[in-house]
Structure formats: structure tokens, C-alpha cells
Homo-oligomer: A and B are copies of this chain.
Amino acid sequence: MPKQLPEDSVGIVEPQWFRHEQPLTLQCGKTLPRYELVYETYGQLNADRSNAVLVCHALSGHHHAAGYHSANDSKPGWWDTAIGPGKAIDTDRFFVVSLNNLGGCHGSTGPKTTNPDTGKLYGPDFPIVTVKDWVISQKALMDHLGIPQWAAVVGGSLGGMQAMQWTIDFPECVRNAVIVAAAPKLSAQNIAFNEIARKAILSDPDFHGGHFYEKGVYPKTGLILARMLGHITYLSDAAMREKFGRELRDGSISFDFDVEFQVESYLNYQGEVFSKNFDANTYLLMTRALDYFDPAEEYNHDLSEALRRARANFMIMSFTTDWRFSPERSEEIVTALLAAKKNVSYADIDCPQGHDSFLLDVPRYINMFKAYMGAIDI
């Protein structure tokens, strides 16, 4: 018998597909002749079409943000803590749209899609996509769904960057932007971590220059290394200490190079699971989209100048122990918004879990999020 789903779940959901049959010229100069986006929706679009919320995903996210695909699913969507009836993004009030970005590996057009020009998978030939490209493709989905304006665009980490870009590139289309655990652009340290992750993938002999599909292999080791490294940056030092300490897996030192401490075992396991479910070419694309994100670049490197165009109200949230995108990075966004005379709320949430907090049920964070969303007129 299938289990009872939680009462505050959006329940069983089904992915849908949006087919864009016109060409899209990307920021890199290359053109996709057509593309598809896979997405899910939760809640109902109201008669005024004024209650739509766009959820943007982070590096390894996808369209399945809430609910279950079947009653037997062990886990709900990745942001189920925040999306559902009575939750922060209340599906009794809002119509929520969540998609897999272009270049992704969960159903939208990306490296695992057949290139219509060649009849083969795109693989490494899939063009570099940027946050700006994503926003344009999300706008096409918005038009397809007949939504004139988002009540809010929301996201954490790379998802928050998309929300910020929306307010600059389509100011009339966004009434509110909720930007969690993000940054106005990557630091040199952030880029360096991404470079090591990419190098681990690119140098894996099973990567085959990105053409690994036809060989029946995938760059497992490279992906595991990339994910392990990412994982360290998602957790705070304190959270790792709390979770693992220096516990030995087998109770005593074995004096070798096998996996020995709990933390090694955990990261290896998580990396292995990830490597089976994520495409290496997509990982490369997503990290480059992060590196290249810099909305101020076309405004004389002045973020407040870029944000002056925005018409949205802003809610910025950060976490005290996030060292990937620290509170100082969120404060840079807040400072630029204030200089641009925008309406901005900011909360730095005191919690120990680091960058990952944006995905977790941190009461103060969820309550602030809920209060902000609850005050949005629809």
C-alpha cells in the first residue's frame, strides 16, 4: 500500500514539457535551433494571472522542487520544505512554476539531447549557457503559460542569481525577488573551486572529451571529486564537526589510504550517488554559468546602476555560517539596492549549517520567507 503523503505536500505531481520551436541565439553567440524545457507547477493560476511564482534552481537542482512523482517516492522535491499548502511559498495562494534550466540533465534541452544538426547527442558541443540565457528561456516559458508578470521570482545560490538577473533584464515582469544565499558575482576563491571541479572531470580518462555516452562509460571519478569538493563548500566547518567530528569508520586507525574517517566515507558515498545521477557535461556548463554571472558587467561594473532598472521589491537572506556565499556577499547586493533606492528587506539568519541552509527547514529562515511571501498582494 502506498504511504500516506504529508498533509502539507503538494501531493503527486507530473512534469510537463514546453517546446520552443524558434531559434534562440545565446550570449556566447551560438544558436539553438529549438529547445525544450521540462517544468512542474504547483497550485492554481488565479483568474487575474497575478499569483505566479517562478522558482529557479541552483547548481545541481532541477524542475522537481516539491511533491512526489509517485506515492512510493522516498523523498519529495528539493525545496519541499518551502513549497506547499501553508508553507513559505503557499500553494493555496500561489501558482508555482519550477523548471529545469537549459543545459540541464533532467529533461530540458542539454548535452544529453540529440543535436538536430548532426543527429547525435550534443555532449560537449552543447553551447555555453549563462544566467542571462536562462532568464530569456524562462521568459519564453512564462509567455507560453500566459503569465504577464511574476508575483515573485525566488531562488537560492545560483537560483538567487537568476532572480536578480530577472529584475534587471525584465523589470516589468517581476513584482518581488527573493534572493537567498547568493552573491552579486563569484569571488576568485569561488572560481578556483569550480576550476578544480572542472579539471577533475575534464581529466578523467572516462570523460573522452565529453563524448563518453557513445563509449558506455561516464567520468565517475571526476564527478565524485567535483561533488565532494562542492559538498565541503556547502557545509560549514561547524556543521561538519557536529555531523562527523573525527569519528573513525571502524573505531580504530588502520594506517592506510582507505576511507577511514566518517567524513571521508560520507563524502565518498554522496559523491558516488551524485555521479550516477548527474551529467558531467551539464556540471561543466553549470559551473561556468556561475563563473560568468556578473550582472553589473554591462553597467560599467556598477551593481547599483544595474539594479536601478529593477521595479521589484527585494528580500535578501543569508546565513551566518555560509562561507561559499557569505553574508558579506548578500550585503553587497543590499548596499547596491539601497544605493539604487529600491525597496529591500534583508535578514542574516543565525544558523550553523552553512550554505546548505537554504534547502533546510531552518525555522527562522522559513518564517521570514513565509512572512515576506504572505505580504505579497495577488
Question: A267 vs B259: C-alpha distance in the bound complex, in angstroms?
Answer: 27
Q: Provided the pairs A128-B255, A228-B196, A255-B29 are in contact, do residues A263 and B191 lie with their beta carbons within 8 angstroms?
A: yes
The 0/1 profile, CB within 8 Å of B marked 1, for residues 260-290 of chain A is 1111100110000000000000001000100
Tell me the count of chain A residues lying within 8 A, CB to CB, of chain B.
53
Q: Are B284 and A188 in contact, CB atoms less than 8 angstroms apart?
A: no
Q: B residues within 8 A CB of A235?
A: 189
Minimum CB–CB distance from A360 to chain B (whole Å) comes to 18
A274-325 interface (Cβ within 8 A of B): 284, 288, 291-292, 294, 323
Minimum CB–CB distance from A27 to chain B (whole Å) comes to 8
Question: A259 vs B241: C-alpha distance in the bound complex, in angstroms?
Answer: 34
Q: Provided the pairs A187-B241, A199-B224 are in contact, do residues A264 and B232 lie with their beta carbons within 8 angstroms?
A: no
Q: Does A72 contact B (CB under 8 A)?
A: no
Q: Are A200 and B198 in contact, CB atoms less than 8 angstroms apart?
A: no
Q: Are A195 and B267 in contact, CB atoms less than 8 angstroms apart?
A: yes
Q: Select A189's contact among B28, B237, B253, beta carbons within 8 Å.
A: B237
Q: Select A200's contact among B186, B225, B292, beta carbons within 8 Å.
A: B225
Instruction: Point out which of A198, A256, A284 has the most chain B C-beta atoms below 10 A from its C-beta.
Output: A256
The 0/1 profile, CB within 8 Å of B marked 1, for residues 101-118 of chain A is 000000000000000000
Q: Select A257's contact among B28, B255, B288, beta carbons within 8 Å.
A: B288
Minimum CB–CB distance from A322 to chain B (whole Å) comes to 12
Q: Are A228 and B199 in contact, CB atoms less than 8 angstroms apart?
A: yes
Q: Does A192 contact B (CB under 8 A)?
A: yes
Q: B residues within 8 A CB of A253?
A: 292
Q: Are B257 and A188 in contact, CB atoms less than 8 angstroms apart?
A: no
The 0/1 profile, CB within 8 Å of B marked 1, for residues 25-41 of chain A is 00111000000000000
Q: Provided the pairs A257-B198, A257-B202 are in contact, do residues A188 and B294 lie with their beta carbons within 8 angstroms?
A: no
Q: Are B128 and A256 in contact, CB atoms less than 8 angstroms apart?
A: yes
Q: Are A241 and B196 in contact, CB atoms less than 8 angstroms apart?
A: no
Q: Are A195 and B246 in contact, CB atoms less than 8 angstroms apart?
A: no
Question: A199 vs B229: C-alpha distance in the bound complex, in angstroms?
Answer: 11
A184-229 interface (Cβ within 8 A of B): 185-189, 191-193, 195-196, 198-200, 202-203, 205, 221, 224-225, 228-229
Residues of A within 8 A of B (CB): 27-29, 127-128, 185-189, 191-193, 195-196, 198-200, 202-203, 205, 221, 224-225, 228-229, 232, 235, 237, 240-241, 243-246, 253, 255-257, 259-264, 267-268, 284, 288, 291-292, 294, 323
Known contacts A188-B246, A196-B228, A198-B257; 7 further A-B pairs (Cβ under 8 A): A185-B246, A188-B240, A192-B228, A192-B267, A199-B268, A229-B229, A257-B284
7 pairs of residues in contact across A and B, judged by CB atoms under 8 Å: A128-B255, A185-B246, A195-B228, A195-B263, A202-B257, A257-B284, A323-B323
